[in-house]
Structure 1
C-alpha cells in the first residue's frame, strides 16, 4: 500500500492515504512499522490534526474527506460524524435513526475507510463494545477500547 505518511500513534502506527486536498484512508499498521514523514503538505496537516487529537480528544478534525462507498454507507459515515466525542450510539440506535438495520450499520462501520476521523469507534453494541474494523476481538478491539477511554466514553 502506498502511504503519504506513517504516523506513530499511542496504539501502533497509522498509514495515512490522501490526495493533495483530501484524506482518503487511514489504516492500522503493526507497531513494528517504521513511521514515515509526510510526503505532501496535506498529509502533514492530517498528521498534525491526528497528533492534536491524541493530546486532546476534544480537538476537532477540519480536513476535507474523500469518502467512497454505497449510498447507505455514506449515510452511516455521515451520521457517525455527528456523534460527539465522549458519547456512543448503539448500532440499533443509529439504524433506527437511518431507517436501516443494525447489521447493515455494523457492516458500514466495518467498511469505514477513515477510522478515528470518521468515528466508527463511537458505535457500540447494545450489550458491549461490538466490533471494530471488521474484527470482534483482539488488537482491533484494544484500539477501540483505547479510543473510547481516551474520549472518556468508557
Structure 2
C-alpha cells in the first residue's frame, strides 16, 4: 500500500492542495482553507509545488510530473487528450470528443472534465463551449477565467 503525501500552495486563485503517492501525483484540489495542519512532503510534492510556483510566476508553460489520475477508461482517455492542449490555447468539448474518436460524447467529455482529479496540471481549464464562451469548471468559472487570462488566451466574455 502506498503512503500518501500532502502539500499546499498558496496561489493567486486560492489555496491548492496536492496529494501524491510515492511515485505519482494523484490529486490537486482548490481549497478554501487547509483540511489538515500536517503537510508531509516527498520529492514529488516538493517538485510539484515548485512547478506550480513557476507556472504562476509565468516561468513555466508545461508541467513535468508523473501523474496517476483515478477514473474510468473513458475519463482517462479524455484526460490524456487534455494533456495535448498546449499552454495558451483552447479547445472545445467537441474537439476533445472528436480527438478521442467519440464525436457524439460531447456531454460525457464535459462530465469527465468535471471529474478531473488533477486540474490545472491536466489542463481542463483550456476547454470551452463550442460557442466560444467559458462554461463549467469544477474550481469555479472565475478560476478558469483567471487561468486563461494568465495564459493570455482570447475567449468570449
Give the TM-score of the pair, scaled to structure 1: 0.87
Q: 1:38 to 1:61 in 2, by over 3 A?
A: farther
Give the 3-state SS of the residue equivalent to 2:87 in structure 1.
Answer: coil
Which whole-Å deviations, capped at 9, do the CAs of 1:124-153 have from their partners, x for residues lacking one?
A: 0012111001xxxxx710000011000011
How do 1:3-152 and structure 2 match up within 5 A?
4-30=6-32, 32-33=33-34, 39-56=41-58, 58-100=60-102, 101-127=105-131, 128-133=133-138, 140-152=140-152
Equivalent pair of 1:38/1:44 in contact (CA under 8 Å):
no
Give the 3-state SS of the residue equivalent to 1:147 in structure 2.
Answer: helix
Deviation, 1:104, is: 0.6
Give the 3-state SS of the residue equivalent to 1:13 in structure 2.
Answer: strand
Tell me which moved more, 14-23 or 102-111.
14-23
Give the 3-state SS of the residue equivalent to 2:8 in structure 1.
Answer: strand
Deviation, 1:40, is: 2.0
- Write the distance in 2 (CA, Å) between the matches of 1:36 and 1:25: 17
Equivalent pair of 1:8/1:14 in contact (CA under 8 Å):
yes
Which whole-Å deviations, capped at 9, do the CAs of 1:85-106 have from their partners, x for residues lacking one?
A: 1110000111122232110100
Give the 3-state SS of the residue equivalent to 1:25 in structure 2.
Answer: strand
Deviation, 1:37, is: 5.4
Give the 3-state SS of the residue equivalent to 2:10 in structure 1.
Answer: strand
Q: CA RMSD in A?
A: 2.0
